[in-house]
Structure 1
Amino acid sequence: MADLTDAQLNALRNLAEKKLGGETPFINISAARALTELGLAERSREGWDITPEGSALLARMAGPPS
Protein backbone atom coordinates (compact mmCIF):
# COMPACT_ATOMS: atom_id res chain seq x y z
CA MET A 1 0.00 0.00 0.00
CA ALA A 2 1.38 3.37 -0.98
CA ASP A 3 1.86 5.96 1.73
CA LEU A 4 -1.08 8.32 1.99
CA THR A 5 -0.62 12.05 2.03
CA ASP A 6 -1.92 13.98 5.03
CA ALA A 7 -4.86 15.19 2.91
CA GLN A 8 -5.71 11.64 1.82
CA LEU A 9 -5.49 10.29 5.36
CA ASN A 10 -7.65 13.14 6.65
CA ALA A 11 -10.22 12.47 3.91
CA LEU A 12 -10.22 8.74 4.72
CA ARG A 13 -10.81 9.47 8.41
CA ASN A 14 -13.64 11.86 7.50
CA LEU A 15 -15.23 9.17 5.32
CA ALA A 16 -15.01 6.71 8.21
CA GLU A 17 -16.78 9.23 10.45
CA LYS A 18 -19.42 9.74 7.75
CA LYS A 19 -20.03 5.98 7.63
CA LEU A 20 -20.70 6.03 11.37
CA GLY A 21 -23.31 8.75 10.85
CA GLY A 22 -21.21 11.60 12.15
CA GLU A 23 -20.97 15.12 10.81
CA THR A 24 -18.51 15.20 7.94
CA PRO A 25 -16.56 18.33 7.13
CA PHE A 26 -15.59 19.19 3.57
CA ILE A 27 -13.89 16.30 1.78
CA ASN A 28 -10.90 17.26 -0.36
CA ILE A 29 -11.96 16.22 -3.86
CA SER A 30 -8.48 15.41 -5.16
CA ALA A 31 -7.75 13.34 -2.04
CA ALA A 32 -11.05 11.48 -2.41
CA ARG A 33 -10.30 10.77 -6.07
CA ALA A 34 -6.88 9.41 -5.13
CA LEU A 35 -8.48 7.21 -2.46
CA THR A 36 -10.89 5.93 -5.10
CA GLU A 37 -7.99 4.99 -7.37
CA LEU A 38 -6.41 3.10 -4.45
CA GLY A 39 -9.68 1.25 -3.73
CA LEU A 40 -10.05 2.90 -0.32
CA ALA A 41 -13.13 4.94 -1.25
CA GLU A 42 -15.86 4.86 -3.86
CA ARG A 43 -18.07 7.46 -5.49
CA SER A 44 -21.73 7.51 -4.45
CA ARG A 45 -24.77 9.75 -4.78
CA GLU A 46 -23.77 11.41 -1.51
CA GLY A 47 -20.20 12.07 -2.63
CA TRP A 48 -17.67 9.47 -1.53
CA ASP A 49 -17.88 6.50 0.81
CA ILE A 50 -15.16 4.53 2.52
CA THR A 51 -14.73 0.97 1.24
CA PRO A 52 -14.10 -2.10 3.40
CA GLU A 53 -10.46 -1.85 2.33
CA GLY A 54 -10.32 1.75 3.55
CA SER A 55 -11.84 0.78 6.89
CA ALA A 56 -9.37 -2.09 7.23
CA LEU A 57 -6.45 0.23 6.54
CA LEU A 58 -7.56 2.64 9.26
CA ALA A 59 -7.98 -0.27 11.67
CA ARG A 60 -4.44 -1.49 10.93
CA MET A 61 -3.07 2.01 11.39
CA ALA A 62 -4.79 2.31 14.77
CA GLY A 63 -3.12 -0.88 15.96
CA PRO A 64 -4.50 -3.44 18.38
CA PRO A 65 -7.06 -2.33 20.99
CA SER A 66 -5.60 -1.40 24.36
Structure 2
Amino acid sequence: MTLTPGQRAALKNLARKKSGEAVDWINIGDARALTDQGLAERTSAGWVITPAGAAALAASGEP
Protein backbone atom coordinates (compact mmCIF):
# COMPACT_ATOMS: atom_id res chain seq x y z
CA MET A 1 0.00 0.00 0.00
CA THR A 2 1.39 3.38 -0.98
CA LEU A 3 0.66 6.47 1.09
CA THR A 4 1.27 10.04 0.08
CA PRO A 5 3.59 12.07 2.31
CA GLY A 6 0.53 13.84 3.76
CA GLN A 7 -1.24 10.56 4.51
CA ARG A 8 1.92 9.18 6.11
CA ALA A 9 2.22 12.30 8.29
CA ALA A 10 -1.45 12.06 9.28
CA LEU A 11 -1.08 8.40 10.18
CA LYS A 12 1.98 9.17 12.34
CA ASN A 13 0.06 11.99 14.03
CA LEU A 14 -2.84 9.65 14.76
CA ALA A 15 -0.46 7.11 16.28
CA ARG A 16 1.05 9.78 18.52
CA LYS A 17 -2.44 11.04 19.41
CA LYS A 18 -3.41 7.52 20.49
CA SER A 19 -0.42 7.38 22.83
CA GLY A 20 -1.56 10.63 24.45
CA GLU A 21 0.81 13.07 22.79
CA ALA A 22 -0.27 16.47 21.54
CA VAL A 23 -0.29 16.44 17.74
CA ASP A 24 -0.41 18.90 14.88
CA TRP A 25 -3.60 19.33 12.92
CA ILE A 26 -4.58 16.51 10.62
CA ASN A 27 -5.57 17.27 7.04
CA ILE A 28 -9.16 16.11 6.53
CA GLY A 29 -8.47 14.91 2.99
CA ASP A 30 -5.58 12.78 4.20
CA ALA A 31 -7.64 11.44 7.11
CA ARG A 32 -10.50 10.55 4.78
CA ALA A 33 -8.11 8.74 2.44
CA LEU A 34 -6.78 6.77 5.43
CA THR A 35 -10.37 5.94 6.38
CA ASP A 36 -11.07 4.69 2.86
CA GLN A 37 -8.08 2.36 3.23
CA GLY A 38 -9.18 1.16 6.69
CA LEU A 39 -6.19 2.78 8.41
CA ALA A 40 -8.19 5.36 10.39
CA GLU A 41 -11.75 6.01 11.42
CA ARG A 42 -13.82 8.97 12.49
CA THR A 43 -15.34 8.70 15.95
CA SER A 44 -17.05 11.14 18.29
CA ALA A 45 -13.56 11.79 19.71
CA GLY A 46 -12.21 12.72 16.26
CA TRP A 47 -9.96 10.81 13.88
CA VAL A 48 -8.32 7.71 15.37
CA ILE A 49 -5.86 5.18 14.02
CA THR A 50 -7.17 1.64 13.52
CA PRO A 51 -5.26 -1.56 14.30
CA ALA A 52 -4.65 -1.88 10.55
CA GLY A 53 -3.25 1.65 10.51
CA ALA A 54 -0.91 0.88 13.40
CA ALA A 55 0.23 -2.30 11.64
CA ALA A 56 0.85 -0.43 8.38
CA LEU A 57 2.88 2.19 10.21
CA ALA A 58 4.91 -0.50 12.01
CA ALA A 59 5.48 -2.36 8.74
CA SER A 60 6.77 0.80 7.09
CA GLY A 61 9.61 0.93 9.62
CA GLU A 62 8.97 4.59 10.37
CA PRO A 63 9.03 5.84 13.96
Query: The residue matched to 1:31 in structure 2 has which SS?
Result: helix
TM-score under structure 2 length normalisation: 0.93
TM-score scaled by length of structure 1: 0.89
* Residues 4-52 of structure 1, C-alpha deviations (whole Å, 9 max, x = no match): 0000000000000000000011000000000000000000112100000
Larger Rg: 1
SS in 2 for 1:22: coil
Name the aligned partner's letter for residue 19 of structure 1: K
Letter aligned with residue 12 of structure 2: R
Aligned to 1:49: 48
Which consecutive unaligned segments of at least 5 residues does structure 1 have? none
Query: Which amino acid letter does the alignment assign opposite residue 49 of structure 1?
Result: V
List structure 1 runs of 4+ shifted beyond 2 angstroms. Answer: none
SS in 1 for 2:48: strand
**Percent of aligned positions that are identical:** 55
Note the residue ranges of structure 2 that are not aligned, 5 or more in a row. Answer: none
- Alpha-carbon separation, structure 1, partners of 2:44 and 2:8: 22
